[in-house]
Chain A
């Protein structure tokens, strides 16, 4: 069975704080892909990253970074020096035999 758990339903931080969004997954597939998407209040989805199961290198893109740990089945997302514009719902997703999404984490960044 496949499962994606985003245990944090809502997170509230003050601007400039760092914040980590957790994503834990379950799959029996040996080859799979992990994704993060952002959905701002305006509603449109934004693709952030795709990572395959054979690439455990961490990724950094500006203020965003991702930590992929196969040993703990986690693919966590950190925003450094958060900004109000980061306020959104963030979804983690897993593509193995099937593509499934986590329930999302709503991030509020206060000025």
Chain B
């Protein structure tokens, strides 16, 4: 089945540093990738949707300059949390889908998530 690999699975870093999270589709081409954030009391938030080769579409309220998303190839998307602060600590999850657009019937495949802790 389709596998999405997310790396790293856990990262702890100091306040002010930038952290990059990678999301790779291992056995399919991911035209569309999604980035989610899960807060401690389990609620989920879609941060952005990215289509390969174009700029990511951010959800309302998500800071584009804070959360940089790059989807340069059909198998890799990255999320960079710039100048991270303790309030950015969260569980970040990526998802990939083979075809573009909301009308796609292809299912989403999820990575295992990255737990980010900013000290």
Contact = CB atoms under 8 A, between A and B. Distances in A.
Say if A and B assemble together.
Answer: yes
Interface string A75-106: 00000000000000101010101111101100
Interface of B: 36, 41-46, 59-60, 91, 93, 95, 102-103, 107-113
Contact of A44 (B42, B103, B112): B112
Given A33-B102, A45-B93, A99 B110 contact: no
B45 to A, nearest CB: 7
Main secondary structure of the interface of A (DSSP, over half): strand
A52 B60 CA distance: 21
Nearest to B91: A43
29 contacts: A37-B44, A43-B91, A43-B113, A44-B110, A44-B111, A45-B36, A45-B44, A45-B95, A45-B113, A47-B95, A47-B107, A47-B109, A47-B110, A50-B107, A52-B103, A91-B44, A93-B44, A93-B46, A95-B102, A97-B60, A98-B59, A98-B60, A99-B46, A99-B59, A100-B45, A101-B45, A103-B42, A104-B42, A104-B44
